[in-house]
């Protein structure tokens, strides 16, 4: 059986689904497929994400933001950056950004996904439980073979978008190489409850063996992301609750401990391998990559999904313009998209890697310089304002239609 669409999107995570919704609203006919069935059931630990003000504005433009907020959101009004055991520190507050109610919002991924998929109209045809077997391209577009429980099908489209995550089948099948490296770190995630709550503050603690972030959840708990060497990760994951709380309290240091108080409880732990993986090309003829399929970065700065939503906003913006029209298979579509996303991706990945590298050394003069550097940022309004705008994702919105 053969079906024809303007665009076929492989991967119905937040990024693929947001793209489907935005383009369907513009009148495009979209096929969206995922190897999994959709599920919005709670998970333990929760899969939590910090989205910045820029992403919030984009989701608001799609008419989703109020629905997402109603499901529950932790508001990041302040960010406290420190290096436990070293003097330097830096604080950022949303008050320094004129019109932003917060620097970011901590949300459950399932709530964001549900809000998006609830809005799908008949312009989005979904194929769940569908495995992509392969595709070929000619001058008209792409022909994709998929396998479903009912049998095999062929989907034809002017454009194929890979939104299928870090190990993207689409990227590999198109022969697009990546550059990057394994961080040789595990990201341990868990929810924790503390004596004094969070006061709408996210804490970023930088240690030589890896950073740790505490993100404020809507119910007063924190979501923890702790980057550690695998051998330490294995030990941490084997500890009981008391042992884990003890190790965590030691890691965040006395200053943060004083603010958040005693650790009262810790939920289930889960871990993820951490890597940097950037596609060498974001577009190859009629195949485009978005989200983690295009770029996977270390989660410490909380920028991966924000970056992916900017891919979506830029691509939707390009396709809204008259010159693209319905001629999606024009080579200029992919070329323009790739060109517009390259710099932002490299800037975010470069900044994240730079911060990790800066804090990775135990060499005493370097520790001392780091302390000075953080204090200098704290006391230099221009630098701080720039960092604030990047963290809130409002600095990168330039060029997007509102
Ligand atoms: C511990 C951790 C914390 C993070 N915290 C933050 C944060 O605070 N803020 C932030 O912005 N980012 C954060 N990130 C990054 C963020 O989670 C990712 O950037 C984002 O989830 C990527 O979304 P995606 O839709 O591109 O990919 P995914 O969420 O991986 O979705 C890919 C989809 O494709 C489907 N799929 C895969 N293969 C196939 C196939 N062959 N055929 C069909 N379908 C397929 C999958 O089933 C899935 O539904 C964090 C990441 C980690 C690991």
- CATH number, domain of 342, equals 3.50.50.60
Asked if residue 98 belongs to a domain, the reply is: no
Indicate the burial class of 275 (C-beta count within 10 angstroms; 0-12, 13-18, 19 or more). Answer: middle
Using CB atoms within 10 Å of the CB of residue 278, give its burial: 0 to 12 exposed, 13 to 18 middle, 19+ buried. Answer: middle
Ligand 1: which of 170, 293, 304, 310 to mutate, most ligand atoms within 8 Å of CB?
304
Q: Does residue 288 belong to any structural domain of this protein?
A: yes
Cα angle at 47 between 44 and 50, to 5 degrees? 145
pLDDT at 95 over 90: no
- The Å distance, Cα 165 to ligand 1 centre, comes to 5
CA distances from 12 to 18, 56, 305 (A): 9, 20, 14
Residue 162 Cα to ligand 1 middle (Å): 12
pLDDT on residue 373: 57
Q: Whose Cα sits closest to atom 1 in ligand 1?
A: 187
160 is a domain residue: yes
Residue 253 in any domain: the answer is no
CB of 52 shorter than 6 A to ligand 1? no
Could you give the percent of the chain with pLDDT greater than 90?
Answer: 68
User: Looking at the domain assignment, is residue 100 inside a domain?
Assistant: no
Atom of ligand 1 nearest to the CA of 292: 26
What is the DSSP pairing of strand 48-52 with strand 89-93? Answer: unpaired
Q: Which atom of ligand 1 is nearest to the CA of 305?
A: 11
* 400 has a pLDDT exceeding 50: no
CB 293 within 8 A of CB 166: yes
pLDDT of residue 93: 86
What confidence category does residue 398 fall into, taking pLDDT thresholds of 50, 70 and 90? Answer: very low
Ligand 1 pocket, 372 CB below 6 A? no
Angle CA(211)–CA(214)–CA(220) in degrees, nearest 5? 175
User: Which residues on adjacent β-strands are paired with residue 126?
Assistant: 32
Question: For position 31, what pLDDT does the model report?
Answer: 98
pLDDT at 12: 98
Q: What confidence score (pLDDT) does residue 163 get?
A: 98
336-to-202, 285, 291, 329, 340 alpha-carbon distances in Å: 36, 12, 17, 13, 6
- The finding on whether 162 has its CB within 6 A of some atom of ligand 1 is no
Cα–Cα distance, 149 to 128 (Å, whole number): 10
Kind of pairing between the strands at 287-289 and 283-284? antiparallel
pLDDT band at 66 (very low <50, low <70, confident <90, very high): very high
Q: Is the CB of 36 under 6 A from ligand 1?
A: yes
- State in Å: Cα 15 to ligand 1 middle: 8
Q: Ligand 1 centre from 223 Cα, in Å?
A: 17
Domain for residue 338, yes or no? yes
Res. 381 pLDDT band, cuts 50 70 90: low
104 CB neighbour count, 10 Å cutoff: 29
Rounded to the nearest whole angstrom, what is the distance from the C-alpha of residue 327 to the centroid of ligand 1? 29
Task: Assess if residue 285 is contained within a domain.
Answer: yes
- Terminal-to-terminal C-alpha distance of the chain: 40
CB 105 within 8 A of CB 133: no
Residue span of the structural domain in which 117 resides: 2-44+109-179+275-397
Output the 3-class SS for the chain: CEEEEEEEEECCCHHHHHHHHHHHHCCCCEEEEECCCCCCCCCCCCCEEEEEHHHHHHHHHCCCHHHHHHCCCEEECEEEEECCCCCCEEEEEHHHCCCCCCCEEEEEHHHHHHHHHHCCCCCEEEEECCEEEEEEEECCEEEEEEEECCEEEEEEEEEEEECCCCCCHHHHHCCCCEEEEEEEEEEEEEEEEECCCCCCEEEEECCCCCCEEEEECCCCCEEEEEEECHHHHHHHHHCCHHHHHHHHHHHHHHHHHHHHCCEEEECCCEEEEEEEEEECCCEECCEEECHHHCEECCHHHCCHHHHHHHHHHHHHHHHHCCCCCCCCCCHHHHHHHHHHHHHHHHHHHHHHHHHHHHCCCCCHHHHHHHHHHHHHHHHCHHHHHHHHHHHHCCHHHCCCCC
Mean pLDDT of the chain: 88
Which ligand 1 atom sits closest to the C-alpha of 15? Answer: 25
The total number of structural domains in the chain stands at 1
Residues sharing a CB contact under 8 Å with residue 275, sequence separation 6 or more, in sequence order: 166, 180, 181, 182, 183, 296
Q: How far is CA 364 from CA 82, 97, 293, 371, in A?
A: 17, 35, 39, 11
In a domain, 171, yes or no: yes
Range of lowest pLDDT (94-98, 277-281, 325-329): 325-329
Which backbone phi and psi does 335 adopt, to 5 degrees? -65, -45
Instruction: Give the pLDDT band (50/70/90) at residue 105.
Output: very high
What is the tens place of the pLDDT at every residue in 210-231?
789 999 999 999 999 999 999 9
Query: Quick check: 355 pLDDT over 80?
Result: no
């Amino acid at each position: 059986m053969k079906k024809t669409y303007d665009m076929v999107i492989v991967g119905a995570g937040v990024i693929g689904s947001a793209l489907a919704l935005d383009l369907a609203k513009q009148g495009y006919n979209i096929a969206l497929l995922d190897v999994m069935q959709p599920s919005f059931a709670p998970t333990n630990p929760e899969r939590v994400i910090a989205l910045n003000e820029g992403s919030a504005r984009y989701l608001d433009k799609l008419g989703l933001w109020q629905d997402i907020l109603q499901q529950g959101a932790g508001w990041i009004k302040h960010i406290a950056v420190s290096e436990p055991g070293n003097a330097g520190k830096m604080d950022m507050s949303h008050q320094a950004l004129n019109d932003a109610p917060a620097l970011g919002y901590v949300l459950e991924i399932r709530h964001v996904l549900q809000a998006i998929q609830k809005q799908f109209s008949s312009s989005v045809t979904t194929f769940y439980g569908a495995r992509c077997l392969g595709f070929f391209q000619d001058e008209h577009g792409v022909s994709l073979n998929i396998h479903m429980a009912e049998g095999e099908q062929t989907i034809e489209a002017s454009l194929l978008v890979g939104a299928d995550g870090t190990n993207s089948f689409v990227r590999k099948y198109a022969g697009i190489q990546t550059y990057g490296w394994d961080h040789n770190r595990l990201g341990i995630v868990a929810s924790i409850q503390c004596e004094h709550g969070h006061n709408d503050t996210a804490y970023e603690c930088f240690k030589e063996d890896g950073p740790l972030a505490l993100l404020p959840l809507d119910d007063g708990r924190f979501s923890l992301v702790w980057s550690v060497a695998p051998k330490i990760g294995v030990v941490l994951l084997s500890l009981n609750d008391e042992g884990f709380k003890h190790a965590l309290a030691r890691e965040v240091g006395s200053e943060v401990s004083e603010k958040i108080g005693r650790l009262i409880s810790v939920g289930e732990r889960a871990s993820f391998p951490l890597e940097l993986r950037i596609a060498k090309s974001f577009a190859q003829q009629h195949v485009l990559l978005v989200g983690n399929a295009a770029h996977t970065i270390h989660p410490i700065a909380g920028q991966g999904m924000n970056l992916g939503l900017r891919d979506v906003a830029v691509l939707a913006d390009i396709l809204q313009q008259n010159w693209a029209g319905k001629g999606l298979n024009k080579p200029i579509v992919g070329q323009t998209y790739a060109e517009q996303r390259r710099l932002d991706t490299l800037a975010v990945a470069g900044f994240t890697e730079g911060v990790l590298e800066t804090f990775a050394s135990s060499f005493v003069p370097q520790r001392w310089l780091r302390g000075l550097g953080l204090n200098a940022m704290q006391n230099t309004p221009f630098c701080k304002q720039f960092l604030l705008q990047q963290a809130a994702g409002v600095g990168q919105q330039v060029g997007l239609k509102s």
